[in-house]
Chain A
Amino acid sequence: MTDAEQPATIRLEVARYRPEQDSEPVFQGYDVPLMDDWAVLDGLAYVKDRLDGSLSFRWSCRMGICGSCGMNVNGEPRLTCGSFLAEYGDGPIRIEPLKGFPVIRDLVVDIDDFLDKLSSVRPWLIREGEEPPLTAEYAQTPEQLDAYKQYSMCVNCMLCYSACPVYVLDPDFLGPAAIALAQRYNLDSRDMGDRFDVLNLDEAVWGCVFVGDCTRVCPKHVDPAEAIQRYKLTAALRSVLPWSRR
């Protein structure tokens, strides 16, 4: 683009919450250049660099893999590095923090609760017996890998939590990603653990009413809704047939 041309702009309506001055979020408008290849995140970076240095948001990889740039864009939870300004026509684009989490500042939300939940499902490979020497790997065929691979793709971006009405209403709900990650290990042929005690709870898999929005918004196609329903079946069968494992 040459300097002479006036670049087209698009308006971003950005939610601001500065705990020192705002008692609740307010919207602030910014006009940013409407470039074909700019992601919404590039628009925000432009605001921060050129218009208002006091705007706070998280981002890092800008390639959809670190999971830090999730926000509510026009009411939908999105990774802002993977959503483009041009998708939103003439704008304005409303950018808010992810729904369902306490807002720390502007577009930054508190996700510590998720990390506690993640720990609680024991998201690590559980083995019994002696640790074998580090000379050979555990065998795992491509088919066995396939059985859990999809659930291992979670980037912890929290879009699914934000989209799940159950979680938004009841923060005690263990929620989609944590359950999907528990299933990631449950279905791993190398894992010998049992996570029934943490998953078979009212506020774990039984809290899910299968809205399915978690799966719809997941940018990594993890399909947490499926993970949860599958474990419901597992848990139900185990409850009626106590001798069956998994």
Chain B
Amino acid sequence: MTVRAPYRPPRDRLWFTRTRSATVFVLRELTSVFVAWSVVFLLLLADAVLSGTTREFAALAARPWMIALNVVALAATAFHAVTFLNLAPKATVVRLDGWRVPDWVIQGGNHSAWLVISGLIAYFVLRSS
């Protein structure tokens, strides 16, 4: 009888479909593609503003496929924001006097900051129009 060496399973190419949490992880990571897209989009906008072609840009942005793309980008960046701000307390454990500040407090703080900053940005953008 020959004794085989320990069995090493082949690589599982579809590992990210095996559990819900792995799929969520991959989705979370893939938001970064839309983060990149959003940045590109904003750069295009800034370029248009600075070169006085805002009107053309608005027309481009109003194309249905552009809107569709940006709706997805909105969902992705929002998903990114929620997950990223929720995970932050993992790296930054805050201790006051030996008492560990619970995760939800930090998360709540992060989300509040998000709201406030979003409000400020919206205010500055929309102020005079």
Direct contact of A and B (CB under 8 A): yes
B87 within 8 A of A: yes
A116 within 8 A of B: no
Bound: A165/B118 CA distance, A: 35
CB neighbours (8 Å) of B5 from chain A are: 19, 102
B128 within 8 A of A: no
CB neighbours (8 Å) of B21 from chain A are: 211-213, 216
Contact between B91 and A110, CB atoms less than 8 A apart: no
Interface string of B1-32 (1 = CB under 8 A from A): 11111111101100110110110010001000
**For window 22-68 of chain B, which residues contact chain A by CB distance below 8 Å?**
22, 25, 29
Contact between A213 and B19, CB atoms less than 8 A apart: yes
Contact between B90 and A225, CB atoms less than 8 A apart: yes
B127 within 8 A of A: no
Contact between A212 and B8, CB atoms less than 8 A apart: no
Interface string of A88-119 (1 = CB under 8 A from B): 00000000000100111000001000000000
Contact between B93 and A226, CB atoms less than 8 A apart: yes
**For window 212-230 of chain A, which residues contact chain B by CB distance below 8 Å?**
212-213, 216, 225-226, 229-230
Q: How many residues of A contact B (CB 8 A)?
A: 35
Bound: A78/B87 CA distance, A: 24
Q: In angstroms, how far is the closest chain A Cβ from the Cβ of B39?
A: 21
Question: Which of B6, B29, B99 contacts A19 (CB under 8 A)?
Answer: B6
Q: 9 interchain pairs (CB within 8 A)?
A: A19-B6, A75-B18, A76-B19, A141-B98, A143-B98, A165-B25, A168-B12, A229-B87, A229-B90
List residues of chain A with CB under 8 Å of any chain B CB: 17, 19-21, 23-25, 75-76, 99, 102-104, 110, 141-144, 146-147, 165, 168-169, 209-213, 216, 225-226, 229-230, 232-233
List residues of chain B with CB under 8 Å of any chain A CB: 1-9, 11-12, 15-16, 18-19, 21-22, 25, 29, 87, 90-93, 95, 97-100
